[in-house]
């Protein structure tokens, strides 16, 4: 390759994994407003320099950030209504906390019913009260992002017009993007299209303010880019030629993983698989624009399911589970060579968990990307377990657990007695504060970065878990409450950061 990623982005630092939906607040879901900035202040006071979060796109099936309606767009539910009110686009009386919205978890349907009408009201207000400079800013945003925004806004407007059904079930002419149908629908839905553009404008205005606030305080954002996109997304509808689809627009093969730690039948994710041959002929231009976009949003990118770039698990679409699949070769270094030519060295963390073969490791090392170590995977084996800290290479990122794992308290409670004794023997401690013991182990390790889910800092049990892989419903809902984070938490993190040079 022409160049190697520099080590500038990989520093000996600590941080916290928390998706913005989990922030507290009065409107049923965390957002990009006051509480997000307050969390940045906590990170700063605790000596942490990294805020890792999940993908920021508009969630689709099961409310998963990994099945977004777009690889480029932001989630409207993360827009701060209070910020819109301060800007005069909503009246404060409209923001009286909705007593039907729980504070302890996200009820996505209820949040949508509450927030989307208010976003529409903000749009109408913007049309009538926005100054010329604000209107120009909106127009400039739409022009700058037109390569993805026009298709996304039309897709969302069409989806609303069709009662929310998947795009392959729309009328054949618009599902197939025939020119006459596109022109007709753009005319009929012009106002709805503009509304969805406005929502993205507001998301990215608020996001840029939050990122700047974090960066000014020495906090870097670690974002997340899923390797695959959702079937029902603007990406697949607008670029069907890049995916394995049949004549009706439905996938012929889908993504997943074979049986593993999480599931005896594997995981059938259902994402359509790429036509890497066609992407290659186009110079991977779609991927270049995808990376270009996320690199304007975050400071470091975690690539989810990195092993799929070497080989991915292909499951025939008519199977309901993932056991009967096959490994298919991915694009390997060719994709990343062109990404680096276009964008320069990539600040990437490679999620290399699961079934990792030697060729996957060789690809990661050739690219110079650090991999991930998860302490929950370290015990119950032997002293050569690669997740045990004494086996780490310095160029890696260590986690107590990830969004796919149980909390540390829940994990330890579920271990067998033999496994628990092995954990305590390695730690050299008792079990009274197992979450802090694992946090200390992560911070003390040679890994350059150490990331801890907020649930572990708070010492929460399995009920606070963010995701159970393979479970279609009930995930992604956890929130913490005002007052949960105390100065004591910040002090303990500061002490560990100072002690272990982070």
What are the structure tokens assigned to 367, written together? 């690219």
DSSP state at residue 73: P
Query: What is the rounded distance in angstroms from the CA atom of residue 479 to the CA atom of residue 145?
Result: 32
DSSP conformation class of 113: H
Residue of 197, 268, 265, 207 lying closest to 234 (CA atoms): 197
Q: Which two tokens stand for residue 224?
A: 């997340």
CA dist 298 and 300 (Å) reads 6
Longest dimension (CA), the chain: 71
Ramachandran angles phi, psi of 69, nearest 5°: -70, -15
Q: How far apart are CA 396 and CA 10, in angstroms?
A: 9
CA 85/CA 81 separation, integer angstroms: 6
Closest of 473, 75, 64, 478 to residue 304, by C-alpha: 64
Cβ neighbours of residue 122 under 8 Å, at least 6 residues apart?
Answer: 81, 84, 89, 90, 198, 202
The full DSSP string for 248-273 is TS-BSEEEEE-S-SS-TT-EEEEEEP
Contact 42, 402 (CB under 8 A): no
Instruction: Write the DSSP assignment of 365-412 as a string of letters.
Output: HHHT--EEEEGGGSSSS-TT-TTSGGG--SSEEEES--TTSPPHHHHH
Residue 59 backbone phi and psi in degrees, to 5: -70, 150
| Rounded Cα–Cα distance for residues 268 and 257 (Å) | 7
Distance CA 502, CA 131 (A): 46
Phi, psi (deg, nearest 5) at residue 269 = -75, -35
**448 flagged as catalytic:** no
Question: For 312, how many CA atoms within 13 A lie in the half-sphere containing its CB?
Answer: 25
Residue 197 phi/psi, 5° resolution?
A: -65, -40
- Around Cβ 452, how many Cβ atoms within 10 Å? 29
Q: Which of 31, 304, 406, 456 is catalytic?
A: 304
Active site residue 404: yes
Told to judge if 351 belongs to the known catalytic residues of this protein, a careful annotator would answer: yes
Distance, CA of 147 to CA of 186 (rounded, Å) = 16
Among candidate residues 314, 404, 406, 456, the one labeled active-site is 404
SS3 182: helix
Which of these is catalytic: 351, 352, 437, 456? 351
Six token digits for residue 212: 């700047």
Residues 6+ apart with CB under 8 A from 132: none
Catalytic residues: 304, 351, 404
């Amino acid at each position: 390759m022409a160049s190697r990623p520099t080590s500038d982005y990989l520093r000996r630092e600590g941080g916290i994994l928390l998706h913005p939906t989990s922030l507290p607040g009065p409107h049923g879901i965390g957002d990009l407003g006051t509480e997000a900035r307050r969390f940045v202040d906590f990170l700063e006071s605790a000596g942490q320099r990294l805020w890792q979060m999940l993908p920021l796109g508009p969630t689709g099936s099961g409310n998963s950030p990994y099945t977004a309606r777009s690889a480029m767009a932001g989630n409207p539910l993360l827009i701060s209504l209070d910020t819109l009110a301060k800007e005069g686009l909503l009246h404060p009386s409209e923001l009286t906390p909705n007593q039907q919205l729980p504070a302890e978890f996200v009820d996505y349907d209820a949040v949508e019913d509450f927030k989307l009408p208010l976003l529409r009201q903000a749009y109408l207000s913007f049309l009538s009260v926005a100054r010329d400079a604000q209107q120009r800013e909106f127009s400039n945003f739409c022009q700058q992002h037109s390569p993805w925004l026009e298709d996304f806004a039309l897709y969302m407007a069409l989806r609303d017009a069709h009662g929310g059904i998947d795009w392959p079930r729309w009328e054949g002419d618009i599902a197939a993007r025939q020119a006459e149908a596109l022109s007709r629908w753009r005319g009929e839905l012009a106002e709805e299209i503009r509304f969805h553009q406005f929502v993205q404008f507001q998301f990215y205005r608020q996001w840029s303010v939050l990122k700047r606030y974090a960066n000014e305080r020495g906090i870097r954002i670690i974002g997340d880019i899923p390797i695959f996109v959702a079937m029902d997304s603007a990406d697949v509808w607008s670029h069907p030629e890049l995916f394995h689809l049949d004549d009706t627009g439905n996938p012929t093969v889908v993504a997943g993983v074979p049986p593993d730690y999480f599931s005896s039948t594997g995981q059938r994710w259902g994402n359509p698989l790429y036509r890497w041959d066609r992407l290659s002929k186009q110079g991977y231009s779609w991927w270049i624009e995808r990376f270009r976009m996320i690199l304007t949003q975050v400071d470091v990118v975690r690539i989810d399911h990195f092993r799929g770039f070497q080989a991915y698990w292909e499951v025939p679409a008519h199977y309901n589970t993932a056991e009967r699949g096959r490994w298919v070769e991915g694009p390997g270094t060719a994709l990343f060579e062109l990404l680096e030519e276009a964008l320069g060295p990539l600040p990437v963390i490679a999620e290399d968990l699961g079934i990792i073969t030697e060729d996957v490791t060789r690809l990661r090392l050739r690219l110079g990307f650090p991999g991930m170590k998860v302490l929950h995977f370290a015990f119950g084996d032997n002293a050569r377990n690669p997740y045990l800290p004494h086996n780490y290479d310095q160029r890696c990122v260590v986690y107590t657990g990830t969004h796919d794992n149980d909390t540390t308290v829940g994990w330890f409670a579920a271990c067998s007695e033999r496994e628990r004794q092995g954990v305590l023997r390695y730690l050299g401690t008792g079990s009274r504060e197992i979450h802090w013991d694992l946090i200390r182990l992560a911070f003390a390790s040679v890994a350059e970065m150490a990331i801890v889910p907020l649930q572990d800092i708070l010492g929460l049990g399995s009920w606070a878990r963010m995701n159970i892989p393979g479970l279609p419903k009930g995930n992604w809902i956890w929130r913490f409450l005002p007052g949960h984070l105390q100065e004591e938490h910040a002090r303990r993190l500061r002490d560990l950061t100072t002690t272990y040079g982070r």
